[in-house]
Structures are given as C-alpha cells and as structure tokens.
Amino acid sequence: MSGGKPSSTVLYLLVAVMMFCWSGNYVAARIVFREVPPEIVICVRTIVSAVVIIPIFWYQSRGKKIEATWRDIGLLIVLGVGGITVNQLFWTLGVARTTVLHSSMIMATTPLWVLGMAAAMRLEPINRVRILGIVIALAGVVSLQFIRTRAVSGQQQPTVLGDALLLGCALPLAAMTVFGKRYKPRLGGIAVNAMGYVGGAILLAPLLWWAGRGFDFSRLSTGAWLGMFYMGAFSSVAGYLIFYYVLAHIPASRAGAFQYLQPVIATGLAYLILGEPVGGQALAAGGMVFAGIFVTERFS
C-alpha cells in the first residue's frame, strides 16, 4: 500500500474489508470455541499474528536505520503488550462466555472510555452533554445484563463474567489509546503491533504449555485451524494494517466512526451463520448504547 493518494472508492472498499475482518472475528471465534478452549485459542492466535507480522515489519523497515532509545522500547512494550496482548487475552476469554451481540456492543463503548480518560488527563475537553451521552451508553450496557435471549441448544448464553471480561478488554485498549496520544511511538504502528504479537507469543507460551497438556491437536478440524488462522492473520494483522493506511488519508473522526458499524455487522453475521437469536429487548439496549455514543460524538 504505497504510492499517491488513493481514490475515495478504494479507501471505502478498504474500510469495508476492514470492517468485515473485525466483525467476522466474533463469528470465527464462536466457531473455533466449539473445538478449542479459549486459553489455547488466544495462544495460537497470537503466534499466528507474530508469524505474519514479522516479515511485514522486516519489509517495512528494510534499508532503514532503526535508532531506538530505551524510551522508544519502553513505549513499544507498554503499547504493544499492554494495548494488544492484554486486550486480545480479555477479548478471547470474554467472547467465549457471552454472545456476539453483547461482546460487540460492549466493545463499541471503547471510544467513550477513551474520551473519559483523555478528559481526566486534560487531553480533551468534556461537558455535561458528553457526560450525558456516556451515561446513556452505560445504561444500555447495564440493561444488557438483565436481558437473556431464548435458549438455543448448543449456543452460548450471555453471562456477567463474559461481559465483565469484555469490559476488561475495552478499558486497557482505551487506556493505551490515550497513552499513545500523549506519548506517540516514534517507530510507528507496525512496530507496536510487532512488539505486541511477538512479545505476546513469548509471554503466552507458558499458558499454551499448561492449557495444551493432554489436548489432542491432531483431532481438530480444518475449520478450527482456519478459524484460528483467520483470527490471527486477518482480524489481528490485516484489519489493523488497513486501519493505519486509511487513517493516513482520511480524518481520524471519520475512520473511527466506521467502527460503530462493527456491532451491526457482527450481530448480522452471527444471526446468519450461527443462528444466534436477536431479541427486541437486546436491540433496544443496543440502541441505547448507540444513542449514547452518538450524543457524545455529536458534541465532541
């Protein structure tokens, strides 16, 4: 992805690919969990991401003299491991314990946490209307906890633990976003991702050893392997590389706004592919989340 500025058509096509990469991740995870425990999934996914990102990082940095200070390395570790490895660990464990609708809606609140933390650090202003938007969105998330879809054989029901883990995923992601705004990594986004995935693969190695004891990997279906490859290569690497590329050509606010489509696409895919039910009450709670996000963004 190089050369002159791409056309609007190309950019929006890339955005569509990015959104399906990220939205499809929820469905791929639910399929993989049928055969593989989430503790193993996060390890294999991170290893796949590391294997994919290493040659991309090498290609991007070839011929360049990399001069990294201890501060640069520290930033890479904090943003990469803290913002990527921890984020994906909580995401994987959370999605395994709740529904696609719940998980995607909770992740959609990430910009609200970013705003709150940025305001606390005096990086962005906040007013009463934006606080009202945050309260509305949080009310929608809380409402989700009191809604249970009709039970369908073989399908995961939402749980408070699963939703809490997803919240534990959104919060460090927001914190690392704000941290990255204040202390911009000089080595760039690809370096941050490389550190996150390679460092994560190393840190998660003991978990893979522990969770993989007695697990028969040879019995996994081709679909399970493809699902984990999709999660590691397309959602984790390709989606973010497209995001960084698009971000260089369109305003950050517009690029971020497309992420609000993720719950809609993810829930639609889950309904079509997994048959995951979507009730009117759940949609109403999701509408509250979106209303809160809209109010907050409208008065930003």
- Is 124 a domain residue? yes
- Is 1 a domain residue? no
Q: What is the pLDDT of residue 93?
A: 92
Check: CB of residue 227 under 8 Å from CB of residue 40: no
Structure-block tokens of residue 152: 């369908």
Question: How many C-alpha atoms does 95 have within 13 Å on its Cβ side?
Answer: 33
Q: What is the pLDDT of residue 258?
A: 67
pTM above 0.95, yes or no: no
For residues 72 and 156, give the distance between their C-alpha atoms in angstroms, rounded to a whole number: 42
Sign of CA dihedral 248, 252, 258, 263: positive
- Is 150 a domain residue? yes
Q: What is the pLDDT of residue 27?
A: 92
- Is 282 a domain residue? yes
Number of domains in the chain: 1
Domain range enclosing 192 = 8-180+187-213+228-298
Q: What is the pLDDT of residue 152?
A: 46
Structure-block tokens of residue 179: 């941290």
User: Would you write out the chain's pLDDT as a tens digit for each of its 300 residues?
Assistant: 555 677 878 888 888 888 888 889 999 999 999 999 999 999 999 999 999 999 998 887 776 776 767 777 777 777 777 778 888 899 999 999 888 888 888 887 777 777 777 777 776 677 787 778 778 877 877 776 666 554 444 566 778 888 889 888 888 777 776 766 665 666 667 787 888 899 889 999 999 999 999 899 999 999 999 999 999 999 888 887 887 777 667 655 556 566 677 788 888 888 888 888 777 777 777 777 777 777 776 665
For residues 225 and 175, give the distance between their C-alpha atoms in angstroms, rounded to a whole number: 32
- Is 128 a domain residue? yes
- Is 270 a domain residue? yes
Q: What is the CA radius of gyration of the chain?
A: 19
Check: CB of residue 286 under 8 Å from CB of residue 101: yes
How large is the angle between the packed helices 100-107 and 128-144, nearest 10 degrees? Answer: 160
- Is 60 a domain residue? yes
- Is 220 a domain residue? no
Q: What is the pLDDT of residue 151?
A: 45
